């Protein structure tokens, strides 16, 4: 075996390997970890019904009817769904120039603020209704309207009013729908990516 100044080459190579191994074993180190958990909030809104009725007796009193109560021949009912996401409004024996109302509460039941993106009215009721709209509650302001912001726990109350014009036909059925879309406050007025189609009217 060849040698370098009397030292075999194989021994020199072995010494180099041992030196590197020793250096590796002597390297001090540690690994630091950052664990990240993100828990998202919830966007949630619910409706409730405070009161409902019509103005038949009040109107009969204003017109000096001797027995206003007998003029109370039509009625309105407003029924809240179990999940608070919808209200079924039913007007029975309706006729023109009577005002029917339903006091609606909209509440932010989620954990983040939201804004009302849109409030829309649809159906053939819009063709014969002189009024089919939200009107102010006790605060004198229409709150259930585009751009209204509700913080978590906040709520607003407006009055849904239905008033038939003389264009309404006898013995007929008219249907309408009010759609309220809310979205996270910091994206308003960006249109929501997807909106589920409304349920079929009259279904």
Q: Which residues of the chain have pLDDT under 70?
A: 1-25, 195-203
Residue 113 lies inside a defined structural domain of this protein = yes
Tell me, yes or no, whether 152 lies in a domain: yes
Confirm whether 21 is domain-assigned: no
Per-residue pLDDT tens for 90-121? 999 999 999 999 999 999 999 999 999 999 99
Please state, in angstroms and rounded to a whole number, the distance separating the CA atoms of residues 110 and 182: 11
Secondary structure class of 62 (helix, strand, coil): helix
Q: Which helix (H) or strand (E) is 17 found in, with range?
A: helix 9-25
- The answer to whether residue 30 is domain-embedded is no
Domain assignment present for residue 162? The answer is yes
Euclidean distance between CA atoms 104 and 69, whole angstroms: 26
Task: State how many domains the chain has.
Answer: 1
In a domain, 28, yes or no: no
User: Which domain does 141 fall in, by range?
Assistant: 45-187
Residue 37 lies in a domain: no
In a domain, 4, yes or no: no
Structure tokens at 131: 């009024």
Q: What is the pTM of this model?
A: 0.81
């Amino acid at each position: 075996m060849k040698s370098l100044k009397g030292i075999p080459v194989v021994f020199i190579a072995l010494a180099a390997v041992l030196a590197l191994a020793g250096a590796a074993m002597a390297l001090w180190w540690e690994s630091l970890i950052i664990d990240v958990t993100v828990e998202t909030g919830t966007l949630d809104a619910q409706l409730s019904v405070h009161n409902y009725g019509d103005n038949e007796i009040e109107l009969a009193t204003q017109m000096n009817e001797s027995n206003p109560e007998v003029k109370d021949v039509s009625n309105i009912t407003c029924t809240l769904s179990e999940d608070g996401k919808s209200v079924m409004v039913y007007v029975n024996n309706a006729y023109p120039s009577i005002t029917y109302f339903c006091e609606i509460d909209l509440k932010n039941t989620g954990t983040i603020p939201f804004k009302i993106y849109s409030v829309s009215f649809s159906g053939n009721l819009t063709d014969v209704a002189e009024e089919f709209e939200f009107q102010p509650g006790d605060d004198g302001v229409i709150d259930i309207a585009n751009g209204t912001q509700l913080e978590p726990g906040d709520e607003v109350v407006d009055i849904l009013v239905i008033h038939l014009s003389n264009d309404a036909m006898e013995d007929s059925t008219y249907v309408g729908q009010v759609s309220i879309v809310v979205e996270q406050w910091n994206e308003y007025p960006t249109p929501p990516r997807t909106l589920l189609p409304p349920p079929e009217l009259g279904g």
